[in-house]
Amino acid sequence: MTSSQPDLEQDVAQAQRIVRDYSRFLHTSTLATCVLAPILIALPPRKIDLFTFSLSGAFIAAVDYQVKERTSLGIMGHASRRFILKEPSKRPVQDDVSTQWQQPSRLLEEPSPRVVQTSALQQRAQEDWKQQRLKEEQEKLDQGEGYWDMIKDQVWQVWNQEEKKVEELKEKDEVVVREREVKG
């Protein structure tokens, strides 16, 4: 029996060494994947294919492992925690970790007067914008234009906005050149 005792201790020590080496390998390889996968995705040829999706999946899995290793919660655990904290009726039994997450969220839930003022101004501006847009839409419909024409006009305005800026800059440049000629 004395000979089996050292063998058992050696087996346990060897198993612990294998687990430690495997953990170290996982840590290093996931760190490398977190860095190399986005770089490989960004290298030419940039195309969306099976290679890109597999690299994206490897990157997500590596980030999830690293987050889980550091915080003992994966990405989805952190994402679901935010929703749990916002809904007090579904809040689980609180422990030390959840109270740490609640304290910053309480500060965000209490609106300051400045935030209330800006949100009221933004809401009024948004309502004014909506009313003006509805008014313009109704006028165009009364003139006989259809929705397709309105969509084309809006796309055209957005598309050519840069050309208008270029024309304005050219006009300003011409005015400056004329002024310099007059002074010179």
Per-residue pLDDT of the chain (184 residues; tens, 9 = 90+): 455 677 888 999 999 999 999 999 999 999 999 999 999 999 988 889 999 999 999 999 999 999 999 998 888 888 887 777 665 544 444 455 555 555 555 544 555 555 555 677 777 777 777 888 888 888 888 998 888 888 888 887 777 776 777 778 888 888 989 988 888 6
Residue 140, domain member (yes or no): no
Q: Which domain holds residue 80?
A: 4-109
Q: Could you tell me where the DSSP H helices lie in 43-112?
A: 50-71, 75-86, 96-109
Do both 177 and 104 map to the same domain?
no
Q: What DSSP string describes 95-128?
A: -HHHHHHHHHHHHHHS--HHHHHHHHHHHHHHHH
Residue 47, domain member (yes or no): yes
- What pLDDT, on the 0 to 100 scale, is given for residue 30? 96
Query: What tokens does 154 get?
Result: 């809006």
Domain endpoint, select from 82, 109, 136: 109
Do both 12 and 77 map to the same domain?
yes
Do both 89 and 11 map to the same domain?
yes
Query: Residue type at 118?
Result: T
Torsion sign over Cα 121, 123, 126, 127: negative
Q: Are 66 and 30 spatial neighbours (Cβ–Cβ below 8 Å)?
A: yes
Distance CA 142, CA 144 (A): 5
Do both 20 and 105 map to the same domain?
yes
- What pLDDT, on the 0 to 100 scale, is given for residue 112? 54
**What size, in residues, is the chain?**
184
Query: Residue type at 18?
Result: I
Domain count, the chain: 2
Rg of the chain in Å (alpha carbons): 31
- Three-state SS at 43: coil
Residue 175, domain member (yes or no): yes
Residue 133, domain member (yes or no): no
Residue 134, domain member (yes or no): no
Distance CA 57, CA 63 (A): 10
Do both 11 and 63 map to the same domain?
yes
Residue 122, domain member (yes or no): no
Do both 47 and 94 map to the same domain?
yes
Largest Cα separation within the chain, whole Å, is 110
Query: Residue type at 124?
Result: R
- What pLDDT, on the 0 to 100 scale, is given for residue 137? 87
Do both 180 and 91 map to the same domain?
no
Distance CA 60, CA 33 (A): 9
Do both 95 and 166 map to the same domain?
no
